[in-house]
Amino acid sequence: MSSKVAIIGSGNIGTDLMIKVLRLSEPLEIAAMAGIDPASDGLARARRLKVATTHEGVEGLVALDEFADVEIVFDATSAGAHGHHDEVLRPLGRTLVDLTPAALGPYVVPPVNGDVHLDAPNVNMVTCGGQATIPIVAAVNAVTPVHYGEIIASIASRSAGPGTRANIDEFTETTSSAIEKVGGAAHGKAIIVLNPAEPPLIMRDTVHCLVSDCATEAVTASVEEMVGGVQAYVPGYRLKQKVQFERVASDDPLRTLAPGASGAGGALKVSVFLEVEGAAHYLPSYAGNLDIMTSAALRTAERVAAHRSTEGAAR
């Protein structure tokens, strides 16, 4: 039996997520979409697909007859709006899967800690850059401690809607925090670039990790295994070239970022270069930033639904 879900946010992310639920997910059934712009393309598409809609936000969602059966709600709006949505929905017993950088609940990156917070009332999907890069930091950290992890996410400016632009500050703060809390780095740094190039370029992500001297073959194997894990739900996720290693001299200013690096061999900089091509369910393939975010949210909600089903059967 499928679990019914609703989506708050009828913009690019919410609409792509709705189409993914309809096309790809057997465990989930879309029951409703809520927005605040009655003329939005997302709400129009939802109506054509026979999904219940409201343009009165979370209050309108709660008032819909279809809401009674909803178990999981995706929030695809903004960090500023999410606090209010949490206040309304948490007392009603719904699980929130938060696609904004509000980070009111624990961070979830499916291939790293996807089974850890299944009972949490609110889980946070970090950011698109976080979903693309934190698995790599975690893969390196599984072999050798990451003293400093830095990620640079470059996305097409055209794929960044009003919500993404409004959340830029929260993006860097939330992603940096999750690099440490989920990726395992002692210190994390996140940078986002809105690339104005025309025609738009596919999402590119760079991950730099400063580590102590270690077995590079083991790091490469761990990274490649993790890439395969992400590809299981984001087929367009891939390495652009082999994992790179560079020795950091003792007098190199980079060493100040990794005071914990030690050992006879000194410090290494591990660099991983990624590309994320979107599945083009709603937007063009260059919008891999949206695709990895909605795909991660879908995977997380499916795991929550399966966990609920198992717990219910046990009772």
**CATH code given to domain 3-126+292-314:** 3.40.50.720
Predicted confidence (pLDDT) per residue in 55-68, tens digit: 999 999 999 999 99
Q: Are 133 and 152 in contact (CB under 8 A)?
A: no
Domain boundaries along the sequence of the chain:
3-126+292-314, 128-285
Predicted confidence (pLDDT) per residue in 4-25, tens digit: 999 999 999 999 999 999 999 9
Looking at domain 128-285, does it have CATH number 3.30.360.10?
Answer: yes
Predicted confidence (pLDDT) per residue in 224-281, tens digit: 999 999 999 999 999 999 999 999 988 888 888 877 776 556 799 999 999 999 999 9
Tokens read off for 67: 């809401």
Question: How many other β-carbons are positioned within 10 Å of the β-carbon of residue 92?
Answer: 10
- 43, 103, 128, 293: the active-site residue: 128
In angstroms, the first-to-last Cα distance of the chain is 16
Predicted confidence (pLDDT) per residue in 117-165, tens digit: 999 999 999 999 999 999 999 999 999 999 999 999 999 999 887 778 8
209 is catalytic: no
Give Rg (Cα) of the chain: 20
* Per-residue pLDDT, 259: 77
Output helix, strand, coil percentages for the chain, rounded to the nearest 5. 45, 25, 35
Residue 313 pLDDT class (50, 70, 90 cuts):
low
Average pLDDT over the chain reads: 94
pLDDT > 70: percent of the chain: 97
Give the three-class secondary structure for 93: coil
